[in-house]
Chains A and B, each alone.
Chain A
């Protein structure tokens, strides 16, 4: 309660406003498809679902807690060094996540290698700190962090789903479209009918194209996003 303003104390914990903080970034204000932020990591780690899910979780942890910490300190941070303070908070949370992954999810941490470190430079994280956490209460900032990370993670997982399914015929490493053998006779499932994996899906440019298609689909369905 210490850090809540008077207004926040009276508000219900999951009031309409607070719910909006969580749901808005999923669709109407999605950081990737609407604000077009955080694209670089979306290109790099969406070849398979597993790293995409781990990245989404890692970014959620980093964003929720960095938003929370910056919001707690917002009245104490000297404005002249506020960007440095934000960077230090984000960087140390990322270092923590990296250490934990290396201890408990070693294979995934090797696969994600540099990209975990690059969460520091993810524009969404710094953007939310600067635009939201510096001016809002702790609980709201926490929700905003989770909401935006979820919006980011959602797109990541959708892109990774299509790329892994069409690119290697697998989901989470399990063969979904059947087994691809050396010859047609040795194959099963779709491969037995002559289906081939689309190698293009495994290349980074395809992530950009999938994101582009998502933006197109979203804009054609969501009237709020159609510019006059």
Chain B
């Protein structure tokens, strides 16, 4: 009798059925948990996005208070097309850059946030590019001359902790403050972080790199210059903005 029951759990049919039942049960439990927790998780990500946008213009806040401050400081959210014209019917906050960036340049939406902090106007541009292992993203805030950087926020999906992941650290992001994105002759060049070339001034369009994170930091430079150029047409069309070389 005993022998039989041992054999039963070792038969092929039993093993197959056990595996199938297990997968179905576990799958349904996980699917249920993921769906029921999704709204809370989405809310967290939304608040974090607001927090990041605010951080670029120097407004540090707790996640729970981000929404109120966001409403207070971000005065305009617009979406541009590739010609720099404002697009109607698309909400800037809902634009998913991960999807946009895969489309052709002419079909992309370019979100732009305009902030007013104590009378000063800032233009906040969302960034997305490629790091060493996975996507990197963030925001860059330009002062109203659209040349000087107010602040930046970077984040990543899978860079190496201690190396590439250091781009999320405040000490690295602080290097970008007050840097210029146009060079002396008025060309939009962004901000690079070349290896072994220390940055001596805020006007040289470059910051000090992170050792051991060359590819990630190059990705940061690349995404800044790539993203910014799409906004140039819009900035030039605005009468109140004095774009260099215009």
Residues of A within 8 A of B (CB): 75-81, 84-85, 88-89, 92, 95-96, 99-100, 102-104, 106-107
Contacts and interface: CB of A to CB of B under 8 A. Distances in A.
B15 interface: yes
30 contacts: A76-B9, A76-B18, A78-B9, A78-B14, A78-B15, A78-B18, A79-B10, A80-B15, A81-B18, A81-B19, A84-B19, A85-B22, A88-B22, A88-B23, A92-B26, A92-B29, A92-B30, A95-B30, A95-B33, A96-B29, A96-B30, A96-B33, A99-B33, A99-B41, A100-B37, A103-B37, A103-B44, A106-B44, A106-B63, A107-B63
Contacts of A99: 33-34, 37, 41
A121 B18 CA distance: 23
B52 to A, nearest CB: 12
Nearest to B11: A78
A86 B178 CA distance: 55
Query: DSSP majority for the B interface?
Result: helix
A77 to B, nearest CB: 7
A92 B23 CA distance: 10
Interface in B34-66: 34, 37, 40-41, 44, 48, 63
Contacts of A85: 18, 22
A84 B44 CA distance: 34
Contacts of A78: 9-10, 14-15, 18
Interface of B: 9-10, 14-15, 18-19, 22-23, 26, 29-30, 33-34, 37, 40-41, 44, 48, 63
Contacts, number: 51
B41 A103 contact: yes
Contacts of A79: 9-10
Contacts of B63: 106-107
A88 B10 CA distance: 19
A176 to B, nearest CB: 21
Nearest to A79: B10
Contact of A102 (B10, B26, B37): B37
Nearest to A80: B15
Given A80-B10, A96-B33, A103-B44, 7 more contacts: A78-B9, A78-B14, A79-B10, A80-B15, A81-B19, A102-B37, A104-B40
Contacts of B10: 78-80
A9 B214 CA distance: 63
A81 B33 contact: no
By Cβ-Cβ distance, the 4 closest A-B pairs, closest first, are: A103-B40, A106-B44, A78-B15, A103-B37
A81 B15 contact: yes
Residue in A76, A84, A92, A107 with the greatest tally of chain B CB atoms within 10 Å: A92
A99 B37 CA distance: 7
